[in-house]
Amino acid sequence: MIIQTVRADLNGDGVLDTVSLTGDKEEAGSAFIRNIALIIRDGRTQRTETIALVNNAGYNPRLFIGDFNRDRLDDVLVSIDSGGSGGFGFYYLYSFAGGRARLLFDNDMYNREIKYDVIFKNGCKVEVYNYQLKKTYTIDVRAKQKDVYAQIFDRNCRLLQPTSGFVPGLNNLYPLAREAEGGYNLLAFERVIGLYGADTLGNLETVLVWNGAGFVQSTESLRLS
């Protein structure tokens, strides 16, 4: 079935191309969709290209069209909600400049490249270190010392044993308008986890900008909330 269709000039030839998401419902009345694929039909040649996505099943698959790699041509962002308890999404960004599909970004690529350490410290603190930006952020977990972290900190907030948390990966990704010059960056959200999946210590928000070869985290943009 066709999930969504939009029209845009992806290759700069002045003719609108047709961009479609297709998939199969798990069962009648279900919101879960399998076999999600991206289909591009060239408006001038009518040639059709089908792109099979690595993670091709989930909820609420959708398209966003805009220029992300600063070439003044529209790119295609595919977003799919996983529906799992971790709140992850699957994301694929393609350029079709020159009439050929080129993957600019996906969630697996991001998770391979962006790494963190989450370390519990004396004083009922947790330090989050970003390897790419070489920046450290500190979270105060004193409010959890008497219950969740009673076995980790004593009553004076001294660390009783080495303990680590983690950042499990990209949760959400959104287009972020570049107001001054037009087009879009990417806004990434990730959860900082303490002892277990439901123990959320904070959320990392990062602007990703195109540097000519790929998307990198903006040095000034990483924020912990």
Q: Are residues 50 and 90 in the same domain?
A: yes
Q: What is the per-residue pLDDT for 145? A: 85
Model pTM score: 0.91
Alpha carbon of 172 to those of 2, 17, 28, 123, 146: distances in Å?
24, 28, 28, 31, 32
| Full 3-state SS string of 208-223 | EEECCCCEEECCCCCE
pLDDT tens figures, 163-176: 999 999 999 999 99
pLDDT tens figures, 196-206: 988 999 999 99
24 neighbors 35 (Cβ within 8 angstroms): yes
b/e per residue 73-88 (b: at least 16 CB within 10 A): bbbbbbbbbbeeeeeb
Domain residues for the domain of 22 are 2-105
Cα(141)–Cα(99) distance, integer angstroms: 52
Question: How far out from the chain centre does Cα 87 lie?
Answer: 11
Q: Residues of the chain whose pLDDT is less than 50?
A: none
- Where among 69, 87, 105 does a domain terminate? 105
Q: What is the per-residue pLDDT for 153? A: 95
Number of domains in the chain: 2
175 neighbors 77 (Cβ within 8 angstroms): yes
Q: What is the per-residue pLDDT for 28? A: 74
Q: What is the per-residue pLDDT for 87? A: 81
Q: Are residues 125 and 193 in the same domain?
A: yes
Identify the CATH number of the domain in which residue 98 sits. Answer: 2.40.128
